[in-house]
Amino acid sequence: MSKVFQPEHVVTDNPHGAMVYGPITTENDDDGTRYVQTIKGGHTIIVNENGNKLDHTPGTHNELCGTGLVKGTSNTDAPNEAVAKAIVARHGDIVMVAEHGNIKLKAQNIWIETGGTKNKGNFLVKSNGHIAMTAGEKTTFAGTKICMVGKDQITLSSGGSIDLLCSELNKSSPLASIFDIFTNMSLASLLRLVNKECGNQV
């Protein structure tokens, strides 16, 4: 009968947890694990000699940082652009997945920047439901080319004016003659139509 493999360096092994350094299996079954820490309740940290690390938290994982950035007892502002937490991946991707929950970002300001070149540097957003963007002041879309595609419809609504500035306007539609109807439509009727299509805007 074979004996149970015993790691070379066992720091502690008790009912509350264990901490082990070195191979945790025989040489034939060695997967490169060189550090294991387990805590009663299911917390596990596994470190491999290839540089990989697994940190398993069965419950909520909270981090608090930046408490020392504020100077003085009466000061509530940290130094300008002070970094309280940084996650840097020299190579590879950073992936955040909430399989059965939400991902929420909240800050005074949020910057998103892509620095790729050639066919990279893209910013892609995909949603199965709605995409809502609301600004208290101005929303700007700028690009060498801008394409808006509405499989069902596109509605533009403004409480003021809609300005169209271009060197050339091309309009093509099998229902182009319908646009003539709007020429004779009263402002009140037009606003009622817009409210119906976009919700209460005025």
pLDDT in tens, 77-131: 666 778 889 999 999 999 999 999 999 999 989 999 998 888 888 888 888 899 8
Q: Is residue 188 part of a domain?
A: no
Q: Is residue 54 part of a domain?
A: yes
Q: Is residue 42 part of a domain?
A: yes
Q: Is residue 49 part of a domain?
A: yes
Q: What is the pTM of this model?
A: 0.66
Domain count, the chain: 1
pLDDT band at 4 (very low <50, low <70, confident <90, very high): low
Task: Tell me which residue range forms the domain holding 52.
Answer: 1-58
* 3-class SS letters over 39-70: ECCCEEEEEECCCCEEEECCCCCCCCCCCCCC
What's residue 45's pLDDT? 94
Q: Is residue 8 part of a domain?
A: yes
Q: Is residue 111 part of a domain?
A: no
Q: Is residue 19 part of a domain?
A: yes
Q: Is residue 28 part of a domain?
A: yes
Give pLDDT tens digits for 152-174. 888 888 888 888 777 777 666 65
Residues 6 or more apart whose CB falls under 8 angstroms from that of 13 comprise 19, 20
Residue with tokens 């439901």: 129
What's residue 1's pLDDT? 41
d(CA 107, CA 125): 20
